[in-house]
């Protein structure tokens, strides 16, 4: 038997003002993406902003549907938009934030397992890490250097590519 320990390294900031200019802009744009959220059932808005290596920024927001689970998370909306419009683009980083009128969100909201798997696939496809920033409005920010840190056992089956 082998005992293996996995460690996750991330940066923690007290607020968005501590970030560099590029990361701060990405967080601000993820906040702007909240406006296009369609979330009449949960009232839980999620926005994401993704910076491509070209410098272009793509926004996404969660889109709910009365027929659960037909909706889609903000991360996947933005990532699938990139896949459809920019299939060879390289993603440098993404920022994700959330907001609701029902309660105050006190900690950064992290991505669901489905989104992490899709993020891991994009990272694998481009053979380069994607930095992920979880941004709590008026609060803490977490910055992870790679999706692999968040999902070390992502589903991978190389034989499916053949």
| Residues with catalytic function | 75
Angle between helices 113-126 and 74-85 (to 10 degrees): 30
Token reading at 44: 């839980």
Asked whether 64 and 38 are in contact (CB, 8 A), the reply is yes
Q: For residue 132, what are the CA distances in angstroms to 11, 19, 108, 162?
A: 10, 13, 12, 30
Dist. CA 3–CA 97, nearest whole Å: 36
């Amino acid at each position: 038997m082998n005992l293996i320990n996995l460690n996750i390294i991330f940066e923690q900031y007290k607020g968005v003002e501590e970030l560099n200019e590029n990361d701060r802009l990405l967080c601000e744009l993820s906040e702007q993406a909240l406006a296009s959220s369609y979330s009449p059932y949960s009232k839980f808005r999620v926005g994401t902003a993704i910076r491509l290596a070209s410098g272009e920024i793509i926004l996404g927001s969660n889109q709910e549907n009365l027929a659960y689970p037909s909706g889609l998370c903000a991360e996947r909306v933005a990532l699938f938009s990139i896949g459809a419009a920019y299939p060879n683009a390289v993603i440098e980083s993404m920022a994700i934030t959330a907001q609701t009128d029902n309660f105050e969100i006190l900690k950064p909201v992290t991505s669901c397992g489905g989104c992490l798997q899709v993020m891991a696939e994009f990272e694998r496809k481009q053979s380069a890490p994607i930095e992920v920033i979880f941004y709590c409005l008026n609060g803490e920010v977490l910055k992870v250097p790679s999706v692999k840190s968040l999902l070390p056992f992502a589903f991978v089956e190389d034989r499916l590519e053949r």
